[in-house]
Amino acid sequence: MQPASAEPVAEPVMAPAPASAPATLPVIAPAAGLLPPSIALDGLFAAISAAHIFADAKTAADAVPDRAPGDLLAAYEQAKAQSGFDLNSFVAQHFLVPQQRLVSYRRHQDESVREYIDGMWDVLSRPPDRPPAYSSLLPLPESYVVPGGRFRELYYWDSYFTLIGLSESGRFDLLRGTVRDIASLIDGYGHMPNGSRTYYLSRSEPPFFALMVDLLARHDGPGAYTNFLPQLQREYDYWMEGADGLAPGTAHRRVVRLADGTVMNRYWDDRDTPRDESYPQDIATAAASDRPAAEIYRNLRAGAESGWDYSSRWLADGHTLTTIHTTDLLPVDLNSLIAHLQQTLAHAYGLRGDQAQAQRYAQLATERIAAIRRVLWDPAQGAFFDYDWKKQALSPVLSVATMVPLFLEAATPEQARMVAATARARLLRAGGLVTTEQATGQQWDAPNGWAPEEWMAIMGLARYGQDDLAREIAARWTARVVTTYQKSGVLLEKYDVVDPSVSPMGGAGGGEYPMQIGFGWTNGTLLGLMNRYPAIVPPSVPVPNAPPPSVASSNAPPSAHD
């Protein structure tokens, strides 16, 4: 373990962890090189980005060179020295550009949204990945589901909410395959990357693997916990690396020890360079700031690890991207997920008969939940907030992440009651819960609502007996999504929940890319909500063979694993 420091500097990407998967889990060779294109292709990648050859910067990161990076760089240096060199022509000659698979599913006349979702699983599913040489894509042993649009690979936290829908549709083949793919990545690289690309290896995303195992265990039985215990443990070790021996008031990678000795987690990235998939945007953001560029890049990357890229949650002044300081914050949702992971480890070790480890992780979960209730709670506002560990103060930004401790049963009953009241007063809008109260132009702010947050809020409220508000949010969100579907014939990544009349395509904006169609987590959670609350589905959309609410009520994993 590296010595703890107050704030580590540009650390190298961790070497792949040795694979030690269960005998039933396929182990595949990692992608050659493992370097992201921005490093493997050195100045060529930067030149492609600077020239804005592709409308979407991610296309350059996904393009496949026709030869080894070293050979291609030599060819580039030779070609650009020639008179009349044209970079566009060079790229066209030497790169295979991935084609974005548009939504090819065609809605039938009078087709319900439920039928659309069932049809979309095959559209969004992908076979096992055996990437060509020099591709940034990571190999995967089994079929899986992509979010849709530009997101043409496996993503981490997106997958959990997609798996909810696969479970509802009875597609346990794809559910199981996706979980096993993620387990294979954890085995191969020591963690589940942001997505299955080499340029995502330096970070993860919100750790939902334990909740995926919860879903699978409901179908396959409790053996799922012991089968995937090695990966659950490896996931935990990744997030907690460096915690032992960390001095009070200091941080190392994803762990922070507060002045009183409390250990909590933050988001981080092992690189401090522009993101490959957003290279020109990151360079522009750093250039507009008076802070060191590496500091900006690190915090942009950490914000990407949060999945909330980007939000006023991470902005020091509440609205300007150049003030991003993600690594200073202890996020309420991340720490709730770590507590659930600790509970899951306790449960899995108990099933294996290792009572010492089971008791150890149960105690760690108890301590983490106590820290969430103490450090991240503001009784005056009746909500959970992120905590700035450097300023030793709560963030001023109220976000829908305040609902996650309810979803994972980390709140007290009184805290849950107060959170419900605060959410109703400050976050509830015509189309569901707004992500934050701020309208900054960032996509994880007002006026946008997002399927995973709506789902966790609804399920969390229901768990604490706040059924009226849970149903109201479900009704407003479902009406927003289904009404847009009736007008456009598609489901989207995010929606404007403040003014649902803005556009038939949702009206939600912000972010680094156009609206995406598909869309995995919207499909999955909408199906779960329609099954739990069949009466809220707009009457023009038929609900054939809807299971009773009791079936869908088991979608979200309890912390008690009963």
Q: What is the pLDDT of residue 545?
A: 42
The active-site residue, picked from 142, 214, 269, 309, is 309
346 has pLDDT over 90:
yes
What HEC string does 114-173 produce? HHHHHHHHHHHEECCECCCCCCCECCECCCEECCECCECCCEHHHHHHHHHHHHHCCCHH
From CA 144, how far away is CA 159, in angstroms rounded?
9
Examine the residue annotation and report whether 309 is marked as an active-site residue of this protein: yes
pLDDT recorded at residue 151: 77
Residues present in the chain in total: 562
Compare 500 and 358 and report the one with higher pLDDT. Answer: 358
Please give the model's pTM, rounded to 2 decimal places.
0.90
Other Cβ atoms within 10 Å of 547 Cβ, number:
12
**pLDDT tens figures, 310-325:** 999 999 999 999 999 9
Structure tokens at 501: 């009349």
Q: What is the pLDDT of residues 404-434, one digit of tens each?
A: 999 999 999 999 999 999 999 999 999 999 9
What DSSP assignment string belongs to 449-473?
Answer: EEHHHHHHHHHHHHHTT-HHHHHHH
In eight-state DSSP terms, residue 541 is: S
Instruction: Provide φ and ψ at 190, rounded to 5°.
Output: 85, -5
493 is catalytic: yes
81 CB neighbour count, 10 Å cutoff: 8
Residue 117 has pLDDT above 50, yes or no: yes
**Who wins on pLDDT, 71 or 541?**
71
Cα gap 453→205, rounded to integer Å = 15
Rounded to an integer, the average pLDDT of 374-400 is 98
What's the CA gap between 27 and 410, in Å, rounded? 35
pLDDT band at 552 (very low <50, low <70, confident <90, very high): very low
Query: What's the rounded Cα separation, in Å, for the pair 61 and 98?
Result: 10
The pLDDT value recorded for residue 490 is 84
21 has a pLDDT exceeding 50: no
pLDDT at 150: 75
Q: Which pLDDT does position 318 carry in this prediction? A: 96
pLDDT of residue 107: 61
pLDDT value, residue 101: 58
Q: What is the pLDDT of residue 500?
A: 82
Instruction: Tell me the pLDDT band of 510, cut-offs 50, 70 and 90.
Output: low
For residue 533, say if its preceding peptide bond is cis, omega within 30 degrees of 0: no
What is the rounded average pLDDT of the residues 470-475? 98
Res 191 pLDDT > 80: yes
Where is pLDDT greater, at 510 or 306? 306
Residues 6+ apart with CB under 8 A from 6: 249, 250, 251
Residue 537: band (very low, low, confident or very high) from pLDDT cuts 50, 70, 90: confident
pLDDT of residue 509: 65
Answer yes or no: is pLDDT of 476 > 60: yes
Mind listing the pLDDT tens digit for each residue in 135-173? 999 999 999 998 777 778 999 999 999 999 999 999 999
pLDDT of the residue at 369? 98
Quick check: 26 pLDDT over 60?
Answer: no
Backbone angles phi, psi at 557, to 5 degrees: -75, 130
pLDDT at 550 over 90: no
pLDDT at 17 over 60: no
> What sign does the dihedral 470-476-479-484 (CA atoms) show?
negative
Q: What's residue 511's pLDDT?
A: 61
* Over residues 494-510, mean pLDDT: 74
324: DSSP letter: B
Lowest-confidence segment of 66-80, 81-95, 506-520 by average pLDDT: 506-520
**90 pLDDT above the threshold of 80:** yes
From the list 187, 205, 409, 493, the catalytic residue is 493
Q: How high does pLDDT run on average in the chain? A: 88
pLDDT of residue 559: 36
Strands (E), 282-386: 329-330, 377-378, 383-384
